């Protein structure tokens, strides 16, 4: 999973997101229906910090990243999210290195891409 921390995010956002991720029914059951959570399949989660998720492309042709929290604010929330996700799933999440230039490969099964925003808890 890719996680972006936005300016103004708080511990409550990380806690809500961890609960949402742990309980989201996105894995196939025996009938092939997305009906099981990562907790139910005893799976694990890879969490990579990704500030570019917060790109603002509304103006011009160069994305703005001003909404992305700077490391002093983002790192503690990223770490808190990881701790809450471990608590919710019972397994430590695998993690990327915060702010590192990483080469990440992704196999998108389906493809299914789900966006969760802690500011839009609908």
Which residue has tokens 């092939």? 32
| Residues 6 or more apart whose Cβ sits within 8 Å of residue 86 | 92, 93
Whether 51 is catalytic is: yes
Q: Which of 23, 50, 81, 87 is catalytic?
A: 50
Return all residues near 10 (Cβ < 8 A) that are at least 6 apart: 77
Catalytic residue among 51, 81, 88, 89: 51
120 is catalytic: no
Catalytic residues: 50-52
């Amino acid at each position: 999973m890719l996680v972006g921390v936005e300016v103004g995010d708080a511990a409550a956002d990380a806690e809500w997101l961890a609960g949402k991720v742990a309980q989201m029914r996105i894995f196939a059951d025996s009938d092939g229906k997305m009906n099981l959570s990562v907790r139910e399949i005893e799976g694990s989660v890879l969490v990579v910090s990704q500030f570019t998720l917060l790109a603002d492309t509304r103006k011009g042709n160069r994305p703005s990243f001003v909404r992305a929290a700077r490391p002093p604010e983002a790192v503690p929330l990223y770490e808190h999210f990881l701790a809450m996700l471990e608590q919710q799933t019972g397994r430590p999440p695998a993690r990327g290195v915060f702010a590192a230039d990483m080469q990440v490969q992704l196999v998108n099964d389906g493809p299914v891409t789900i966006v969760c925003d802690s500011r839009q808890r609908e």
